[in-house]
Structure 1
Amino acid sequence: MIIRSATLYYLVMPLKETFKTSYGVMKDKHLCIIKLVSNDGIEGYGELDAFAAPWYTEETTATATLIIKDHLLPLLQNFELQEPNQVNQIFQSIRGNEMAKAAIETAVWDVFAKMSNQPLATYLGGKISDVSVGVSVGIKEHPDELLQTVSSYVNEGYSRVKLKVKPGFDVDFIKQIRDKFPELLLMVDANSAYRREDIAILKQMDKYNLAMLEQPFGVNDLVDHAWLQKQLKTPICLDENIRSLADVIQASKLKSARAINVKVARVGGLTEAIKIATFCNENDMVAWCGGMFEAGIGRAHNIALASRVEFSFPGDISASNRYFEKDIITEEFVSSNGKITTPKRAGIGVDIDEKSLESYCKRWEYIILN
C-alpha cells in the first residue's frame, strides 16, 4: 500500500465545562484530524492530540503539524508499506515528536484494517467486545462540588473514577469521595504536582484504598518515584515520563511504578503502545489506556487498543458526550454500565460527521504524496 495524499483539518472544539488540573485550566481542545488516502482510494483517519500549549509535553498543535508536514509525511512519499508496524521504524530517524508520529501511524493502521475488511480492534488482536471505561474528574474548588460531580458519574455507571489533585486540593477531597463511595474503584492523578517534601501528604492519601496514584513527581524522574513507591502501599502509575517501551523497562528495573498509563499519542502510536502493554503484562505491571480529551477518531483508536486482553484496568476513554456537546462522528460512543462496545465495521468503525467537522474546522490543507 502506498499513501497517495493527506488532508489535515485544524479544529477547535469547546469543552462542555472547564477542566482544571495542576497544570492549568482548559476551556477548549485544539486538535488536528488527519485523513490519509491510499493508492486504492481507501481512507484512514488519525487524530493529533497535542494541546495548544506545551504544558503536557513539549509538543503543541502548531509544532506537531509542522513536523507532520515537513518531516514525517515526506518519509512516506512513494514508500510501499507492507504492514502498519513499518511506520514506527520509518519514523525512527526523527527524534521525539511522538504525538505527530501517532497521528499518522494510527491513520495507517485504519487503512490496513479496512484493506483487510476487519474492525481495527480485531486487526490489533483485541478480544474484548465491551471495554471497561472510567472517567477523569478535574480539580474542583470545594469537596461538595467534587462529590456532586463524582456522584453523577457513578449514577451513570462508570466503573472507575480518577480525581485530579494538587497540594491543597487533595486529602480532604479524597476523603469525602471515599466516605461516600467506600467500594468505588478510585484513583488520583497529580500531573507532577508534588515533591519529596510532600511525603506526609502522600502518605495521608495512602490511607484511602486508592487503586493507584498517578504521576506524583516530575516528568523526567524515575528515581524519586522508586523512593516513594517503597513507602506506599498504593501502586504508583507513570504517565508523562513514559514515551517508549525503553522508558517502561527502566521504570520496571528501578521499581518506580507498578502501573503504566498507556496513551497512544504520547508513545508515538499503536505499535509502541502494544509493545508496552505486552511488556507490562509479562512483568507484573498494570497497563491501562489513557485519554487526551480525544474527539471521535482518537477515541475509536483508544477503544480498539483497550480491547486487547493486556488492558485489564478501566481506561480514561469515557463516552463521546463526556467532553463535547457534539462529536465529529455520526454515531457517538455511548457508555453503558461502565462499558463501551467496540465498533464492528471495518477499520475504526465510525464515520465522520461532515457538518460537525466543518463547524469546528478553522482551516484545512491537502497534501499530495505521490
Structure 2
Amino acid sequence: MFVKEAILYHLEMPLKEPFKTSYGEMSSKSLCILKLTSSDGIEGYGELDAFSTPWYTEETTDTAAMIVQAHLLPLIRNVNLQTADQVNHIFKVIRGNEMAKSVIETAIWDIFSKSEKQSLSTYLGGVTGDISVGVSIGIQSSLDELVDTVQNYINEGYTRVKLKIKPGYDIEPVKKIRKLFPELLLMVDANSAYCRDDIQTLKKLDQYNLAMIEQPFGVTDFVDHAWLQKQIQTPICLDENIRSLNDVKQAFELRSAKAINIKIARVGGLDEALKILNFCYENGLIAWCGGMFEAGIGRAHNIALASRSELSFPGDISASNRYFSRDIILDEFTIKNGKITTPVGFGIGVELDKFSLETYCKRREVIILD
C-alpha cells in the first residue's frame, strides 16, 4: 500500500466549560485531523492531540504539524507499506515527536483495517460490544461544585471517577468524595504537581482506598516515584513519564509504579501502545487507556485500543458530549450504564461531520506524496 495524498486540517474546538488541572486552565482544544488516501483510494484518519502550549509534553499542535509535514510524511513517500506496524520502525530515525508520529501511524492503521474489511477493534485483537469507561474531573471552584459534578457523572452511568489534584487541593476533595461515595472506583491525578517534600500529604491519601495516584512527581522522576511507591500502599500510575516501551521497562525494573496509563498519542501510535500493553499484561502491571481531550477521530482510536481484554480498568474515554457541544463525527459516542459501544464499521467505524469540520477548521494543507 502506498500513501498518495495527505490533508491536514487545523481545528480549534471550544470546550463546553473550562477544564482546570495543576498545569492551568484550558477553554478550547487546538488539534489537527489528518486524512491519508492510499493508492487504492482508501481513506484513513488520525488525530493530532498535542496542546497549543508545551505544558504536557514538549510538542505543541503547531510544532507537531510542522514535523508531520517536513520530516515524517517524506519518510513514507513512495514506500510500499506491507503492514501498519512498519510505520513505527520507519519513524525511529526521528527522535521524540511521538504525537506527530502518532497522527500518521494511526491513520495508516485505519487504512489497513479498512482494506481487510474489519473494524479497527477487531484488527487490533479487541472485542466488540460494550466496554467500561471512566471520567476525569478537573479542579473545581468549591467542594459543593465538585460533589455536584461527581454526582452528575455517576447519574450518567460512569463507574470510575478521576479527580485532578494539586497542593492545597487534594486531601479535602478526596475525603469529601470518598465519604459521600464510599463504593466509588476513585483515583486522583496530580500531573506532576508534587515533590519529595510533599510525602506526608501523599501518605495521607493512602487512607481513602484510591484505585491509584497518577503521576505525582515529575516526568523524568523514575527514581523518585520508586522511592514514593515503597512508602505508600496505593498504586502509583505513570503517565507523562511513559513515551515508549523502554520507559515502561525502566519503571518496572525500578518498581516506580504498579500501573501505566497508555495514551496512543503520547507513545507514538498504536504499535508502541500494543507493545506496552503486552509487557504490562505479562508482568502484572495495571494498564489502561488515557485520554487527551480527543475529538471523535481520536476517541474512536482510543475505543479500539481499549477494547483489548487486557485493558480491564476503565479508561478516560468519556462520551462525545463530555467536552464539546458538537463533535466532528456524525454518530457521536454515548455512555450507557458506564459503558461505551465499539464501532462495528470498517476501520475506526465513524464518519466525519463535514459541516462541523469546516466550522472548526482554521486552515488546511494538502500534501501530494506520489
Q: Which amino acid aligns with 2:226?
A: A
Q: Which amino acid aligns with 1:281?
A: Y
TM-score by length of 2: 1.00
Looking at structure 2, the residues matched to 38 and 294 of structure 1 have their Cα atoms a distance apart, in angstroms, of: 25
Aligned to 2:137: 137
Looking at structure 2, the residues matched to 124 and 369 of structure 1 have their Cα atoms a distance apart, in angstroms, of: 27
Deviation for aligned residue 1:144: 1.2
Looking at structure 2, the residues matched to 202 and 142 of structure 1 have their Cα atoms a distance apart, in angstroms, of: 21
| 3-state DSSP of counterpart to 2:344 | coil
Aligned to 2:237: 237
Correspondence 1:200-349 to 2 at 5 A: 200-349=200-349
Deviation for aligned residue 1:58: 0.0
Q: Which amino acid aligns with 2:270?
A: L
Q: Does 1:35 align with 2:14?
A: no
Aligned to 1:157: 157
Q: Give a deviation string over 1:155-184, Cα, whole Å, max 9, x none.
A: 111010000000011100001100010000
Looking at structure 2, the residues matched to 17 and 131 of structure 1 have their Cα atoms a distance apart, in angstroms, of: 26
Identity of aligned residues (%): 69
Deviation for aligned residue 1:270: 0.3
Looking at structure 2, the residues matched to 154 and 190 of structure 1 have their Cα atoms a distance apart, in angstroms, of: 22
Q: Which amino acid aligns with 1:279?
A: F
Aligned to 1:92: 92
The answer as to whether partners of 1:121 and 1:305 remain within 8 angstroms in 2 is yes
Looking at structure 1, the residues matched to 249 and 310 of structure 2 have their Cα atoms a distance apart, in angstroms, of: 16
Looking at structure 2, the residues matched to 127 and 157 of structure 1 have their Cα atoms a distance apart, in angstroms, of: 21
Q: Which amino acid aligns with 2:243?
A: R
Looking at structure 1, the residues matched to 260 and 185 of structure 2 have their Cα atoms a distance apart, in angstroms, of: 17
Looking at structure 2, the residues matched to 219 and 316 of structure 1 have their Cα atoms a distance apart, in angstroms, of: 20
Deviation for aligned residue 1:254: 0.4
TM-score by length of 1: 1.00
The answer as to whether partners of 1:160 and 1:186 remain within 8 angstroms in 2 is yes
The answer as to whether partners of 1:206 and 1:232 remain within 8 angstroms in 2 is yes
The answer as to whether partners of 1:128 and 1:309 remain within 8 angstroms in 2 is no
Q: Which amino acid aligns with 2:35?
A: K
The answer as to whether partners of 1:99 and 1:266 remain within 8 angstroms in 2 is yes
Looking at structure 1, the residues matched to 277 and 144 of structure 2 have their Cα atoms a distance apart, in angstroms, of: 37
Looking at structure 2, the residues matched to 337 and 204 of structure 1 have their Cα atoms a distance apart, in angstroms, of: 32
Q: Which amino acid aligns with 2:176?
A: Q
Correspondence 1:19-98 to 2 at 5 A: 19-98=19-98
Q: Which amino acid aligns with 1:194?
A: Y
Deviation for aligned residue 1:228: 0.4
Looking at structure 1, the residues matched to 26 and 283 of structure 2 have their Cα atoms a distance apart, in angstroms, of: 36
Deviation for aligned residue 1:128: 4.9
The answer as to whether partners of 1:128 and 1:308 remain within 8 angstroms in 2 is no
Aligned to 1:3: 3
Q: CA RMSD in A?
A: 0.5
Looking at structure 1, the residues matched to 16 and 169 of structure 2 have their Cα atoms a distance apart, in angstroms, of: 22
Looking at structure 2, the residues matched to 156 and 38 of structure 1 have their Cα atoms a distance apart, in angstroms, of: 40
Looking at structure 2, the residues matched to 242 and 11 of structure 1 have their Cα atoms a distance apart, in angstroms, of: 27
Looking at structure 1, the residues matched to 54 and 330 of structure 2 have their Cα atoms a distance apart, in angstroms, of: 31
Q: Give a deviation string over 1:330-357, Cα, whole Å, max 9, x none.
A: 0000111111010001000000000000
Aligned to 1:193: 193
The answer as to whether partners of 2:122 and 2:128 remain within 8 angstroms in 1 is no
Deviation for aligned residue 1:127: 2.0
Aligned length: 370
Aligned to 1:121: 121
Looking at structure 2, the residues matched to 338 and 95 of structure 1 have their Cα atoms a distance apart, in angstroms, of: 39
Looking at structure 1, the residues matched to 74 and 354 of structure 2 have their Cα atoms a distance apart, in angstroms, of: 27
Deviation for aligned residue 1:129: 2.3
The answer as to whether partners of 2:162 and 2:188 remain within 8 angstroms in 1 is yes
Deviation for aligned residue 1:2: 0.2
| 3-state DSSP of counterpart to 1:192 | coil
Q: Give a deviation string over 1:103-159, Cα, whole Å, max 9, x none.
A: 000000000000000000000000252111000000012111111100100111101
Looking at structure 2, the residues matched to 32 and 216 of structure 1 have their Cα atoms a distance apart, in angstroms, of: 29
| 3-state DSSP of counterpart to 1:154 | helix
